[in-house]
C-alpha cells in the first residue's frame, strides 16, 4: 500500500513538472533581454550594427521602412536569403518571443 502511494506521488510530481517546466522562461520573457541574448552580439546593444563586418544597422531609415512581417520573417527564418544566423524559429524562439524582439527593435528605432 505504501508503495502504491509513493508511485502515485512520483507520478503526480512528474506530471506537475511536465506542465510547469515548458511554461518557465529559460530565456527572458521580454524583448529587451531576448534581443540582448540573441541579437546584440552582432547588431550591437543599440542596434547600430557593425558596418565593417557587413552586419546591418537596425536603426537606419531603411531598416525603419521594413514592415513587421518582413522583420519577423528575417528573425524567424532568415529572410529571403535564408540566413542561417537568423533562423531563430529553428533555434527555439517561439512566435511570441520573436514578436517581442521585433517590438524591442521598433523601440530602438525610436531613439
pTM (two decimals): 0.68
pLDDT tens per residue across all 111 residues of the chain: 677 888 788 888 877 666 656 555 444 468 888 889 888 888 999 999 888 888 888 898 888 898 999 888 888 887 777 777 777 877 888 888 889 999 999 989 887
- How do residues 52-79 score in pLDDT, each as one tens digit? 888 888 898 888 898 999 888 888 887 7
C-alpha span between 53 and 66 (Å, rounded): 22
Per-residue cell: 36: 540582448
Nearest one of 68, 50, 70, 46 to 59, comparing CA atoms: 46
The domain spans of the chain are 27-110
All three cell numbers of 19, joined, read 506542465
CATH superfamily of 27-110: Cytochrome c-like domain (1.10.760.10)
The length of the chain, given as a count of residues? 111
CA distance 27 to 56: 24
CA 102-103-108 angle, to 5 degrees, is: 95
In angstroms, the CA 85 to CA 75 distance is 9
Those residues with Cβ within 8 angstroms of residue 21's Cβ, 6 or more apart along the chain or in another chain: none
Amino acid at each position: 500500500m505504501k508503495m502504491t502511494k509513493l508511485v502515485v506521488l512520483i507520478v503526480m510530481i512528474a506530471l506537475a513538472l511536465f506542465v510547469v517546466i515548458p511554461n518557465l522562461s529559460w530565456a527572458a520573457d521580454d524583448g529587451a533581454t531576448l534581443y540582448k541574448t540573441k541579437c546584440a552580439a552582432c547588431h550591437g546593444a543599440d542596434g547600430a550594427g557593425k558596418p565593417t563586418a557587413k552586419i546591418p544597422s537596425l536603426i537606419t531609415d531603411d531598416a525603419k521602412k521594413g514592415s513587421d512581417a518582413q522583420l519577423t520573417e528575417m528573425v524567424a527564418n532568415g529572410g529571403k536569403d535564408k540566413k542561417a544566423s537568423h533562423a531563430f524559429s529553428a533555434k527555439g524562439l517561439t512566435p511570441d518571443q520573436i514578436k517581442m524582439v521585433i517590438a524591442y527593435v521598433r523601440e530602438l528605432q525610436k531613439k
